[in-house]
Amino acid sequence: MMQRQGIAYCIYVSEQFDDGQFNKALIMNAAFEEAMKIDFYDCIIFHDVDMIPEDDRNIYSCGDQPKHMSPAIDKFNYKPHYGTDFGGVTGITPEQYRKANGHSNQFWGWGGEDNDMEFRIFNSGMKIIAVPLNIGRYKMIVHKHPWKFSPNKFPTRLNKTRVQRAKTDGLSDLKYRLVTTESHPTYSKFVIDIRKLDIQRITLHLDDSPAMDVDIKNGPCRYDRTEGKYLDFSIELTHVKEASHLIDKFLKK
């Protein structure tokens, strides 16, 4: 389709590394930053993988304002305002995206991030332009979501803080790790690690004395056999200062 439109483009697929709860918005932020390291793109199209365009007149380009390219989806009988006015397929320039501070990083699970992005756009003095309904038509591939796509339990709570979060939650505080970049004939793929806790080492104790350190990394499995010993362990984590009072409470039981 974009070849027929005569557009120069690159396709990047961004995948979450772990099997934990999904965070679509954080993954999009990370993919944006990684793509911009590769080249200076003048337009970014965020495209849900299950969306198939129906009309070649829907030009994959950006404009003076952020653009909603998928206002009409077959799943919703091609009716607009299906819960969000900036989801599915959207076009935004890097300058506009940075002005809005990107997506929020706080939406774990499915839902809420698109509505939050709508607010960020308007809060930054921009507006959303939707392509005509007879052109911005898409088919949505039918599929079942795994458990990690479970609904976000706190979208309403997050909406209450969207004004305070707009400038501090997004590209400005983005944290992730690029695991791999895979090059394929027609696209490139980013594998992104967004886990908050990173287990570094597990220490096993026998009779209250350290007996073995287990580094969490790929390698052969090993074990030592012991009998008549009391087994305990500790786990070395990062970013767990907030949990210290819980650990103390557990040890006092």
- Token code pair at residue 68: 């909603």
pLDDT (average), residues 235-251: 50
Q: What is the DSSP letter of 110?
A: B
Instruction: Domain 12-193: give its CATH superfamily.
Output: Spore Coat Polysaccharide Biosynthesis Protein SpsA; Chain A (3.90.550.10)
How confident is the model at residue 242, as a pLDDT? 47
d(CA 130, CA 118): 12
CA angle 225–228–232, rounded 5-degree value: 75
> pLDDT digits over 204-216, tens only?
776 677 766 766 6
pLDDT (average), residues 145-161: 67
pLDDT (average), residues 189-197: 88
pLDDT (average), residues 13-28: 92
- The residues spanned by each domain of the chain are 12-193, 201-251
Beta bridge partners of 68: 90, 130
d(CA 114, CA 84): 6
d(CA 162, CA 169): 9
